Amino acid sequence: MKMAFVLFDKMTLLDFSGFCEAVTWLRMLNAFDDVTWEFCADREQVTDDRGLTLRAGRVSPNLSAYDLVFIPGGLSTRQLRYDAEFLDWIRTAKDVPYKVSVCTGALIWGAAGFLEGKRATTNPSAYELLEPYCAEVAKARFVRDGNVFTGGGVSASIDLGLYVVESLAGPDIAKQAQAKLDYPYYTLQT
């Protein structure tokens, strides 16, 4: 399983890091053969919404090369959803088996056209912004509709990560990852 973590200026770091920490346990727990990930952005360096600068390993790669693409949120998603060049890059994920976002990252999937007819969630402050892009905005911590996983507000990134682990690798691996995170708040879904 090859994963891409999309990074962009003014993203919220916990959106990214909570999910990343949970889902990368798929490799450490040997859930699948050959679990890899790459940090991808539309430029070499991005700066989060608190001023931390991160260097992307891949600049605007074709996202179709991945099995899972994850998009975090942040206030800048409100502008990125109108950025044609950025959305064209995101649309290269058309055939990716799993599309995942937390918080307002859902606005990016929506603006790129991937939430049409789907049920999705986002940060409660952005429910109305998500409405034009999907069939139903769910007021939930996380939602799965087919191959699309969306998570609610910032700290939901950890729960969403564990939910994705559980969905892809089963409850035993999810329980092990949860224990490694010392995160008692997630409840298994199966």
Distances in whole angstroms, Cα of residue 42 to Cα of each of 9, 35, 55, 105, 130? 9, 23, 11, 15, 23
Tell which residue, 102, 99, 112, has the closest CA to residue 158.
102
Distances in whole angstroms, Cα of residue 170 to Cα of each of 66, 93, 149, 151? 21, 25, 16, 19
Choose, from 20, 40, 103, 134, the residue flagged as catalytic: 103
> How is the chain split among helix, strand and coil, in percent rounded to 5?
40, 20, 40
Yes or no: say if 13 and 75 are a contact pair by the CB < 8 Å rule: no
> Catalytic annotation on 40?
no
- Residues annotated as catalytic are 103
